[in-house]
Amino acid sequence: MAIETSCDETAVAIVKNREILSSIVSSQIAAHQVYGGVVPEVASRQHVELLNPAIAQALTESHISWPEIDGIAATCAPGLVGALLVGLTAAKTLAIVHDKPFLGIHHLEGHIYASYLSSPDLEPPFLCLLVSGGHTSLIYVKACGHYETLGQTRDDAAGEAFDKVARLLHLGYPGGPIIDKLAQQGNPNAFPLPEGQVSLPEGGFHPYDSSFSGLKTAVLRLTQKLQEASPELPVVDLAASFQETVAKALTKRAIACALNYGLSTIAVGGGVAANSGLRQHLQAAGEKHNLRVLFPPLKFCTDKAAMIACAAADHLTRGHTSPRSLGALSRMPISDVMQLYQKKDGSGAAKCPGW
Ligand code: KG4
Ligand code: ZN
């Protein structure tokens, strides 16, 4: 069983290796919509209210009882610390009460495991393009718990850029799905926008890192200019041009990275993996370069506890468990994942804030 409370979804799931037995998500979107973004304290309070019913429902729908549960996991990093603590404390309490192993799971490792849920034949090594509200990373997946970040964003994450552009166009929250829908009616070549490259000190540009804050500012300037000419904004063309720029920038980096590292599969994860523009561009480029590109079905793209449970099942099979003193961390590089687990001799996990 796994609990996921790192941001604004209260989720509980039960899996058997790569098979989902139940997956419950109580969305908090309505509670945050009035503020135009996630309010951390509101998220924590909502998790407190929604978690116990979600746990009960996960057990009912899976027809599994406590004695049949092998271990209990919760996302412990990265995320909103107050929100993470709700799920983490619940998982540890349940582990103590039912005398089960406890595991802390890195949220991004969970997103990688979403690809295993949708493609059970997938095995490392492969490249994961992780594009969510908090991350834009190219991760070399070597084995369970062993990851190397090859590229990342230097400022805004891809999903964050979608959310911020949606906000400046007064489209609502979360912005990604709204922009995606509008973009499908617009002209992607209506407005040329800067892709945002990361300069290297020795000259040239970083081949895998991205930067989206300049693009967001360019959309802002463009809207201000267009508004001077006419109060009626060409919203669908703006959405299509912005989406096209992001999709092309991500595709270029993912393909270059896979080819340079000799990886024949790119698995995409995170909320932005749902984006239709990214799907089209990356799928086409993959075919051109003879690479296997895996997009999880839309239901696996956003935060779910099933992906956390799938990662936990793999770690548990390998004998990895976390100490019950494990804390929540707002940030943690994915290369540090193995520091969440205690060694076979029982010595503590290094990434365990003492509390
Ligand atoms: O992975 P996720 O559910 O949560 C994080 O861990 O961040 O991703 C949420 C992000 C939001 O920024 C949302 O706007 C974006 O994913 N998103 C999309 C689409 N669906 C969700 N972005 C672009 N196109 C979409 N269709
Ligand atoms: Zn996520």
Question: Is residue 54's pLDDT more than 50?
Answer: yes
In degrees to the nearest 10, what's the CA dihedral of 227, 230, 233, 237? -110
Q: Would you tell me which CATH number, out of the four given (3.30.70.270, 3.40.50.300, 1.10.357.10, 3.30.420.40), belongs to the domain 124-295? A: 3.30.420.40
The residue contributing the CA closest to ligand 1 atom 7 is 133
For the CA of 9, the nearest atom of ligand 1: 3
Radius of gyration of the chain (CA): 21
Cα 159 to ligand 1 centroid, rounded to whole Å: 5
Question: Is residue 354's pLDDT more than 60?
Answer: no
Q: Work out the pLDDT band at 344, boundaries 50, 70, 90.
A: low
CA distance 74 to 278: 30
What pLDDT, in 10s, does the model give residues 148-201? 999 999 999 999 999 999 999 999 888 999 999 999 999 999 999 999 888 888
For the ranges 27-36, 156-165, 192-201, 341-350, the maximum mean pLDDT occurs at: 156-165
Mean pLDDT of 41-66: 94
The answer to whether 171 and 161 have CB atoms below 8 angstroms apart is no
Binding site membership of 9 for ligand 1 (Cβ less than 6 Å): no
Nearest ligand atom owner, CA of 136 = 1
Closest CA to 120 of 294, 338, 302: 294
Q: Give ranges for CATH 3.30.420.40 in the chain.
A: 2-111+303-340, 124-295
The answer to whether 150 and 138 have CB atoms below 8 angstroms apart is yes
Nearest ligand atom owner, CA of 164 = 1
Cα 79 to ligand 2 centroid, rounded to whole Å: 9
Mean pLDDT of 256-284: 96
CA distance 157 to 138: 12
pLDDT of residue 145: 96
Q: Which of 34-38, 52-56, 139-143 has the lowest mean pLDDT?
A: 34-38
pLDDT of residue 353: 59
What's the mean pLDDT when you consider all of the chain? 93
Percent of the residues in the chain that have a pLDDT greater than 70, as a whole number: 97
Q: What is the CATH number of domain 2-111+303-340?
A: 3.30.420.40
Percent of the residues in the chain that have a pLDDT greater than 90, as a whole number: 80
Closest CA to 46 of 22, 23, 29: 29
Question: Is residue 9's pLDDT more than 90?
Answer: no
Distances (CA, A) of 208 to 91, 140, 277, 289, 335: 37, 12, 19, 17, 17
The answer to whether 108 and 152 have CB atoms below 8 angstroms apart is no
Determine whether 80 is exposed, middle or buried from the number of CB atoms within 10 Å of its CB (0-12, 13-18, 19+). buried
Biggest distance spanned by C-alpha atoms of the chain: 70
Cα 28 to ligand 1 centroid, rounded to whole Å: 14
Mean pLDDT of 99-128: 95
Nearest ligand atom owner, CA of 178 = 1
